Structure 1
């Protein structure tokens, strides 16, 4: 890998667009393929568009995928010809949230072409991506991860190495479940406060500035609003489907955690309305 590797990028959504932009602003040559053919997220920064994933892969030292689901990765890698087009020594980074087992399988398939794979899901949402303050949760070969660090630092406040292939996904799924369980805690306790006719605005201010504070609470009314809460709730429920599948077989506690986190995701629009009313 050269000192200034060429970065290929696929996925220009809420997080992927700002991440790709940050990489270009960091001075890295950026090559992009867009399924929609739209590149508005990169307006004002230098990049090279490509007609196919395979065309992008052939000129990239590192390829980042920031897609919604594992099946999207498979579609691009096999159906789009990306994997076959990658040169030996290329590093493939999956920034999406998915199954740890899928990350392990992708690592195995890519190894046959001497391509290294790192799973690096991110936490911090759209706002964190725009502000270049994401937490990037990484699994894979530690030597490869260390070489990637300067690229990851262009958009990350924290880079947390979890372990081998799939460990980044484990860390992200646990992070997601804890966030949503905390949302349920907030929802239940604020219901009690409403029933007792407490000033909710004053109480939330106390909770945000006291020992009860959490990222779940801090995000309400800022990153999470009445306008986007329904959409974020839907995404959280998808994440919990992945969590349930990933940790199936780990005992009854997983079911308890899953159901509480799902309730927290479902309560998110109600919480946003209560705090931003």
Structure 2
């Protein structure tokens, strides 16, 4: 694999292990994070740490971004210290963040006017997927840019699919977040139901996982719910943001998502009750509150 100079902006729960994988694959990675301490794993792996976005981007062939929300991506790209102001023409921008599809399309158009290439490439798989390099990556943008980025995607992900033009990746990710939230809520309700009848929870979830009710959500989140440990792999406050994207985009498209609307309200309630910083498996706590079991 050819060595690529990569700037990686955003070294949090997801971005840090992704950047480290790229270093381990032999790439020249310079990372930046607003909280400098979060850049330590990258430095320990042999990557460089920049003091600003501009410093990270200067000389980069690829700029990867993994930040929480649409305003964060806009600031990284459009700020005086940002990517648009300092990236060389031809630079490939890969936005791994989960943001609004309409914002993505606007940013991609602006990048094109500046002579830059832009892909929206949100990921699914959570912290475990990032650490194990098994992420599912849904990519929107130009097909040639996708082919150019494929070697990078293959380092951090397992399922990598070009799903359409700019914004398509974010649209597919919105659908993913709808399905994941619904699955987690259903699992949480099943756990409360099973506990109410005194069933052996571990045994019950094992057999459920072997049948049609089995899912990646059940496999990855059952331990959290059984042991009631909710250290964040993906925070409820971020899922709350994502379901806002889903409901807004659905309204714009004129489609009705009844279950999506309900789950969005349950996630909003969990956030409002102070669970926003917990893993989204903590939706269990909301079901317990509604059932008088909290």
Whether the TM-score (by the shorter chain) exceeds 0.5 is yes
- Greater CA drift, 262-271 or 156-165: 262-271
Tell me the equivalent position of 2:229.
226
**Pairing 1:249–2:256 present:** no
Equivalent residue for 1:157?
158
2:217 corresponds to which residue? 216
Deviation at 1:114, TM superposition (A): 0.7
Taking a change above 3 Å as real, the CA distance of residues 230 and 53 of structure 1, as seen in their structure-2 partners, is closer
CA contact (8 A) 1:133 1:156 kept: yes
Matched, 1:24 2:27: no
Whether the 8 Å contact between 2:267 and 2:283 is mirrored in structure 1 is: no
Matches within 5 A, 1:256-275: 256-263=259-266, 266=270, 268-269=281-282, 271=284
Separation (CA, whole Å) in 1 of partners of 2:70 and 2:264 = 22
- 1:120 maps to 121
Q: What is the alpha-carbon distance in structure 2 between the residues aligned to residue 37 and residue 193 of structure 1?
A: 44
Cα gap change, 1:202 to 1:272, in 2 (>3 Å): farther
Contact 1:63 1:93 in 2 (8 A): yes
Structure 1 contact 93–117 (Cα < 8 Å) conserved: yes
Q: Which ranges of structure 1 fall in alignment gaps of 5 or more residues?
A: none
Aligned position for 2:176: 175
Structure-1 residue corresponding to 2:199: 198
Q: Which moved more, 1:8-17 or 1:221-230?
A: 221-230
Question: Is the 1:184–1:261 contact (alpha carbons within 8 Å) kept by the matching residues of 2?
Answer: no
Q: Residues 154, 262 of structure 1: CA spacing in aligned structure 2 closer, same or farther, 3 A cutoff?
A: farther
Change (3 A) 1:116 1:199: same
- Which deviates further from its counterpart, 216-225 or 181-190? 216-225
Q: Deviations over 1:216-269 (max 9, x none)?
A: 211124477623269722322121112222222334622542323543684832
* Change in 2 beyond 3 A, CA 1:272/1:90: same
Q: Secondary structure at the match of 2:163?
A: strand
For residues 32 and 270 of structure 1, the distance between their equivalents in structure 2, rounded to whole angstroms, comes to: 33
Change in CA separation of 1:271 and 1:56 when aligned onto 2, cut-off 3 Å? same
Q: Does the Cα contact within 8 Å between 1:57 and 1:82 map onto a contact in 2? A: yes
**Greater shift after overlay, 218-227 or 169-178?**
218-227
Q: Please tell me the root mean square deviation across aligned C-alpha atoms, in Å.
A: 2.5
The Cα of 1:55 is off from its aligned counterpart by 2.5
Q: Judging changes above 3 Å, is the alpha-carbon distance between structure 1 residues 264 and 273 closer, same or farther for their aligned structure 2 residues?
A: closer
1:189, distance to aligned residue in structure 2 (A): 3.6
TM-fit CA distance, 1:213? 0.1
Q: Which moved more, 1:251-260 or 1:46-55?
A: 251-260
Asked if the contact 1:229–1:272 (Cα under 8 Å) also holds between the matched residues in 2, the reply is no
Q: CA deviation at 1:195?
A: 4.1
Aligned match of 1:44: 44
The 1:198/1:37 distance shift into structure 2, 3 A limit, reads: closer
Distance 1:122 1:257 in 2: 20
Secondary structure class of the residue paired with 1:212: coil
Query: What 5-or-longer segments of structure 2 have no aligned partner?
Result: 271-279, 288-294
